[in-house]
Amino acid sequence: MRVRNLLASVLLLLSLAACETYTAVSAGQSVPVGEGVTVTAVGDWAAVSKQFVGNEGIDAMWTVDGPSINQLLFFSRVENGEPFMKSLNKKVNEDLPTWRVGMTEPDVMELVETTLAKVYEAPIVTATNLRPQVFLSSPGFAFEFDMVTKTQLETKGLVIGTQQNGLLRMMIYLAPKMHYFALHEDTVRAIAASARAGGSS
Amino acid sequence: MDFTRRHLLCGCAATALTGCVSQGGGSRIQAGHAPTLDSVEGGLWDIFNRAEADLKFSPLRMTDEELNRYVSDIACRLAGRHCADMRVYLVRTPFFNANMAPNGMMQVWSGLMLRCQNEAQLAAVIGHEIGHYLKRHSLQRFEQIRDSSTVAAFLGIAIAAAGGGALANLPGLVALANIFAFSREQEREADGIGLELMVNAGYDPVQASEIWRGLIEERDAGLTAEEKRDQERQRDVFFASHPAPADRAQALALQAAAFPGGKRIVGEDRYLAQARAFRDMMMQDELRLQQYSRTLVIIERMKVANPGDADPFYYEGEVYRSRNDGIDSGRAMNAYGRALELDELHGPAWRGIGILHRRAGRQDKAAEAFRRYLELVPGAEDRLMIQSYVGA
C-alpha cells in the first residue's frame, strides 16, 4: 500500500514537472485568447499556462517580465449575470458584482473597480479617464486605474473592452505604477488594436 | 540573545496592542515619557517606531495638509500637555476604526471619518484612543499575557513582523490587534477618560454615545429581529473585543449626563466643511464594499446631521444605482431628484440620472441629463465617454 502511494506521488510529481509554466508568444504571432478573440503579439510575450493563472475567469494571461511584474489578462466571453473574474478564495466570491446586459460604460468601469478591489483584496482602486475606444471592430471603452495592493504596492492598470452580442469582452493590463506600467503600455495598446473576432484557444 | 528574544516578544505584543482598550488602575503616563530601549516598554516602542516609519510613506495615507492639521488639532486639544507625544495619521481604509500604538502613533481611518456626523463624535473616538495611551494599556496587556499561551500567538505575529509581513500591512496589523485586544475593563476605562478629555476640551460628551448608536444601527441594518439577536450573541471581530455596543452606548450616555450642562461644541458645520472635500472618495470606497443596507444607514445619519445637504441624497442614488435590484432604478431616480431639489447645480446627480435613462433606453432624456452634467462639471474625468453619449 505504501509503495503504491509512493508510486502515485512520483507519477504526480512527474506529470507536474511535464507541465510548461510558460509558452513563448513571439512578436507578430497571431494567437487566440479565449473564445472568439484573436490578437497579434507586439513584442515578445510569454503566455502563462492555465493552471498557473490563479484567479478564475481569465481566458489568457500574458507577461513579459513575470506575472508579479506585469500581467495582460484577456476576458473573451463574460455572460449576463456572471462576475468577470473570481478569486480562488471562495468567501470572496460570495458577493462579487456581476456584468449585466444593458450596463453603461460607467457601470462597467465601476464593475471593474469593485471586482479588482475584492478579488485582489486591494484597499484602493480608483478608475479614471473613461473614454470611447473601438475594440474588436465595435464601439467600446477604455480607462486607466490606480490600485494599491494589500501589500501596499502601487500599481496601475489599463482596461480596453467592448460589450457586443450579449457578451462583455475585455483586456486588462496591470503593472507596478513606477517604471513598469509605462514600459509596455504602448505595446498593450497596439495588441488591443490588433484584436479580431474569431479563433479559440 | 536576551534582547533579541525580548524584542521579538515585544513585537508580537505590540502588534496586538494597537487595538482599542484595558485594565483599570495605575497612574497616567507622564508627558514627554520615553522608555529606555532595554526595558519591555522600550521594546514595544521600538517595534512601533519602525511601523510608524513605514506608515509615513504608505500609499494609504491621506496626506492633505489642511485635513491632517484639522484632525491633529482635535487630538491636541484633547491630549492637552501630552499633545507633543502623539502623531495622528489619516489612513484611507473604508472601515470604522482608530487606534493608538504605545509609542503615540495614532491612526484614524477614513471609514471612521465617513461615519462621524460632527466634530464631537470624532473627538470622542480620538479621546478614547488617547485614554489607552495615557493608561499604558498596551504595556499592561502585554504584562498580563506574557506568561500565558497567548504569547505563542504573539510570537507568531512577531516573526511575521520581522519578515515585513504584518507590519508591512498596517490594516492587517490592526485586524490582528483586534483579535487579541484589550479587556472590556480597559475599554470602559478608556471610554471614561475619553469623556473627561472631551468635556475638558469643550465638546458635548453626549456625542460619544451617538457614534455607537450609529454603529448598532449599521450592524443591524437589513436584519430580521431574530438575526439581530444572533448578531448580538455572535459579535464580529471588531465588537468581540469591546463591550456590547448597546451596553456601551447606554453607559456612555449615562456618564455624559453626569457632567454639568452648558454650551458645548458639537461642530456639525466645521466638520462638514473639512470632510466634504474627501467625502465623495470615502463614499466610493464604502460603495465598493457592497454593504448597501449598512451604507444606507450611514447616509441617513448624514441627512440628519446636515438636513440641507444635497450630497447624502446623491449618495443614496448611487447606492440604489449600484445595487440595481428590483425597483432600485426608481429609488435611485427619486434620490437624485431630491438632491437636485436641494441643489439644482449638483452635477454628479445629473450624471446618475443620465446613466439610469441610458440603461432604460431613453436616449433623449439621457442626453439631456448628461448635457447638464457636462455644463456643471466641465472637467469631468469621464467627459469623453459622456460626450460620445450626447453626440457632442
The model's pLDDT over A91-118, given as tens digits with 9 standing for 90+, comes to 899 889 999 999 999 999 999 999 999 9
Does residue A90 belong to any structural domain of this protein? yes
Query: Which residues from chain B sit within 8 angstroms of residue A102, using beta carbons?
Result: 359
Is the pLDDT at B64 greater than 60, yes or no?
yes
CB contact at 8 A, A69 and A176: yes
Q: Taking residues B125-149, what's their average pLDDT?
A: 82
Is the pLDDT at B14 greater than 50, yes or no?
no
Is the pLDDT at B308 greater than 70, yes or no?
yes
Give chain A's contact residues with B (Cβ, < 8 Å).
95, 97, 100, 102-107, 109-110, 113-114, 117-118, 123-126, 128-132, 141, 148, 150-152, 154
Domain range annotation of chain B: 2-258, 277-390
The secondary structure of chain B in percent helix, strand, coil, rounded to multiples of 5, reads: 70, 5, 30
CB contact at 8 A, A76 and A34: yes
CATH number at B277-390: 1.25.40.10
Does residue A192 belong to any structural domain of this protein? yes
Indicate the residue of B59, B288, B359 with minimum beta-carbon distance to A113: B288
Is the pLDDT at B8 greater than 60, yes or no?
no
Is the pLDDT at B23 greater than 80, yes or no?
no
Distance (Å, whole) CA B280 – CA B278: 6
Per-residue model confidence (pLDDT) at position B77: 97
Per-residue model confidence (pLDDT) at position B156: 52
CB contact at 8 A, B211 and B219: no
CA A123 from centroid of its chain's CA atoms: 20
Q: Taking residues B15-21, what's their average pLDDT?
A: 38
Contact B169 A107 (CB under 8 A): no
- For B111, half-sphere exposure in the C-beta direction (CA atoms, 13 angstrom radius) is 21
CB contact at 8 A, B188 and B251: yes
Mark which residues 240-299 of B lie under 8 Å from A by CB.
284-285, 287-288, 290
Is the pLDDT at B13 greater than 60, yes or no?
no
Does residue A99 belong to any structural domain of this protein? yes
Is the pLDDT at B239 greater than 70, yes or no?
no
Rounded to a whole number of angstroms, the distance from the CA of A11 to the nearest CA of chain B is 35
- Measuring CA to CA, which residue among A99, A135, A129, A132 is closest to residue A114? A99
Per-residue model confidence (pLDDT) at position B45: 87
Q: Taking residues B270-274, what's their average pLDDT?
A: 95
Cell numbers 471588531 correspond to what residue?
B238
Per-residue model confidence (pLDDT) at position A50: 86
Does residue A2 belong to any structural domain of this protein? no
Per-residue model confidence (pLDDT) at position B181: 64
Percent of chain B whose predicted confidence (pLDDT) is above 90:
61
Per-residue model confidence (pLDDT) at position A15: 54
Does residue A13 belong to any structural domain of this protein? no
**pLDDT tens-digit profile of A18-37?**
567 899 999 999 999 999 99
Domain that holds residue A146: 21-200
Contact B93 A123 (CB under 8 A): yes
Per-residue model confidence (pLDDT) at position B229: 65
Indicate the residue of A123, A131, A154 with minimum beta-carbon distance to B385: A131
Q: Structurally, how many domains does chain A consist of? A: 1
CA distances to A68, B208, B237 from A91, rounded to whole Å, are 23, 34, 16
Percent of chain A whose predicted confidence (pLDDT) is above 70:
90
Is the pLDDT at B179 greater than 90, yes or no?
no
Is the pLDDT at B243 greater than 70, yes or no?
no
**pLDDT tens-digit profile of B66-108?**
999 999 999 999 999 999 999 999 999 999 989 888 999 999 9
Does residue A85 belong to any structural domain of this protein? yes
**pLDDT tens-digit profile of A115-168?**
999 999 999 999 999 999 999 999 999 999 999 998 899 999 999 999 999 999
Does residue A153 belong to any structural domain of this protein? yes
Closest-CA residue of chain A to B379: A129
Q: Provide the 8-state DSSP code for A23.
A: E
Q: Return the exposure string of B274-287: e unless at least 16 CB atoms fall within 10 Å of the residue's CB, then b.
A: bbeebbebbbbbbb
Does residue A6 belong to any structural domain of this protein? no
